[in-house]
Amino acid sequence: MKKIFATKLLRPQVLENSRGVRAEELKRFYRRILDKARKNENIEISKESAMLMNNILCRMSMGRSFSEENGEAERVRGLVGESYALVKKIFFAATLRRLLEKLRIPLFRKEIMGVSDRFDELLERIIVEHKDKLEKEHQVMDMMDVLLAAYRDKNAEYKITRNHIKSFFVDLFVGGTDTSVQTTQWTMAEIINNPNILQTLRKEIDSVVGKSRLIHETDIPNLPYLQAVVKEGLRLHPPGPLLIRTFQERCEMKGFYIPEKTTLVINAYAVMRDPDSWEDPDEFKPERFLSYSRSGQEDEKEQTLKYLSFGGGRRGCPGVNLGYIFVGTAIGMMVQCFDWKIEGDKVNMEETYGGMNLTMVNPLKCTPVPRTQPFSFTSNLEILSS
């Protein structure tokens, strides 16, 4: 499945084809925030950005977004949340696995089956919807169409089953949404707590993008400070702080004997705050990434070993590029178009390991205040409304 992720959904050419979808969803995200700003209402950054990320991923993969009106979108978000909570329970229960198995206590079987059945029901409906559409339109349009075509094709490069298709989408929702949402929330909180960084970032965006159009993802390569801010947000607040591997074979490492099937837990959070590797490790200093890329001193291999926000190796995150696009454009738009008011002087940065991901104890709530003239959009052109 990972190969399918890498070749069919996330390779640069495919990402380029779906750029229009992401641009449209970014505009919808902007309009929702603008609406709140006009009503002087506060927003919960994680809820708004979850809607953005979910809609983009669903449209990229299934050619549709889940409807907010009939509660479908909320059901998907709920299922993803339940999956995270379950993984956390299973992870901690694994330490007692032998004892529980001896006592013949099944590990969360009922809960796992419950979530799995509900995902199954939802995805089955979407598969049927696609098959009907394909029969009528005879067009290959999105990921689901491509996978269904491969499922029917006896000579396809990848032999896939209906269950493969379903598990692919579960991986996509679970791996792709909350990670990007948490990163957006944490990075925005750091920006609000550091007004100097907000000013520097805004200056860069204003000089590259200006104030007469909305930021595009194609602007990101020309916004090195924005890239550094996102990277630093990910360093201090990696949504996946623990990486897990199992040894396939026994081996010896630096004098330690490691038996076969040993589970290894890597604390990526601690690695990325290690004072031996990072100067002022607990401080939010995006500049550190600018100086690395300018001086070229940092050996790439060394960087890979100490920067683990996307994991690494064969099981590393296949969605890195998309993740940077999601977070970069969301943060870029929020900084470009709005000022942000919070209650009190500083955002409370207390953290909790709330499921599979590192999240905020008090979700970030703030009130947007427009700083640019509102944009109105006619097709793909942006104009200033008077």
Asked if 359 is part of the footprint of ligand HEM (rule: CB under 6 A), the reply reads: no
Segment near ligand HEM (CB under 6 A); pick from 75-83, 97-105, 178-186, 289-297: 178-186
29, 176, 337, 366: which one binds ligand HEM (CB under 6 A):
176
Asked if 327 is part of the footprint of ligand HEM (rule: CB under 6 A), the reply reads: yes
Query: Distance between CA 332 and CA 286 in Å, rounded?
Result: 15
76, 201, 223, 243: which one binds ligand HEM (CB under 6 A):
243
Comparing every residue's Cβ against ligand HEM, the nearest one is 311
Beta strand segments in 187-282, E: 242-246, 251-253, 256-258, 263-267
Asked if 319 is part of the footprint of ligand HEM (rule: CB under 6 A), the reply reads: yes
Asked if 239 is part of the footprint of ligand HEM (rule: CB under 6 A), the reply reads: yes
Alpha-carbon distances of 148 from 61, 122, 140, 182, rounded to whole Å? 12, 16, 10, 32
- φ, ψ of residue 326 to 5 degrees: the values are -55, -55
Nearer to ligand HEM (CB atom), residue 175 or residue 368: 175
Nearer to ligand HEM (CB atom), residue 324 or residue 340: 324
Query: Distance between CA 58 and CA 165 in Å, rounded?
Result: 14
What's the angle, vertex CA 23, arms to CA 18 and CA 27, rounded to 5? 150
169, 310, 340, 375: which one binds ligand HEM (CB under 6 A):
310
Q: How far is the CB of 5 from ligand HEM (least distance, A)?
A: 6
Asked if 165 is part of the footprint of ligand HEM (rule: CB under 6 A), the reply reads: no
Q: How far is the CB of 160 from ligand HEM (least distance, A)?
A: 15
Strand partners, 242: 267
Segment near ligand HEM (CB under 6 A); pick from 140-148, 170-178, 207-215, 277-285: 170-178
Q: How far is the CB of 91 from ligand HEM (least distance, A)?
A: 13
Q: How far is the CB of 326 from ligand HEM (least distance, A)?
A: 6
Identify residues 192-231 at the interface with ligand HEM (CB under 6 A).
Answer: none
**243-282 residues labelled b (16+ CB within 10 A) or e (exposed):** beeeeeeeeeeeeeeeeeeeeeeeebbebbeeeeebeebe
Query: Distance between CA 218 and CA 185 in Å, rounded?
Result: 22
DSSP state of 356: S
- Per the CB < 8 A criterion, the answer to whether 328 and 217 are in contact is yes
The β-bridge relationship of strands 365-370 and 43-44 is antiparallel
Nearer to ligand HEM (CB atom), residue 172 or residue 366: 172
- Does residue 317 have a known ligand-binding role? yes
DSSP state of 373: P
Nearer to ligand HEM (CB atom), residue 131 or residue 306: 306
Asked if 328 is part of the footprint of ligand HEM (rule: CB under 6 A), the reply reads: no
Segment near ligand HEM (CB under 6 A); pick from 11-19, 41-49, 238-246, 282-290: 238-246
Asked if 269 is part of the footprint of ligand HEM (rule: CB under 6 A), the reply reads: no
Identify residues 67-106 at the interface with ligand HEM (CB under 6 A).
Answer: none
Report which of 182, 200, 192, 196 is spatially closest to residue 236, judged by C-alpha positions.
182
Nearer to ligand HEM (CB atom), residue 16 or residue 137: 16
Burial of 167 (0-12, 13-18, 19+ CB in 10 A): middle
Q: How far is the CB of 103 from ligand HEM (least distance, A)?
A: 31
Q: How far is the CB of 10 from ligand HEM (least distance, A)?
A: 6
CA dihedral 340, 346, 352, 357 (to 10 degrees): 30
Q: How far is the CB of 379 from ligand HEM (least distance, A)?
A: 27
- Per the CB < 8 A criterion, the answer to whether 241 and 362 are in contact is no
**Residues forming the site for ligand HEM (CB under 6 A):** 2, 5, 10, 171-172, 175-176, 179-180, 183, 234, 239-240, 243, 309-312, 315-319, 322-323, 327
Q: Please report, in range form, the residues annotated as the binding site for heme.
A: 317
Q: Please report, in range form, the residues annotated as the binding site.
A: 317
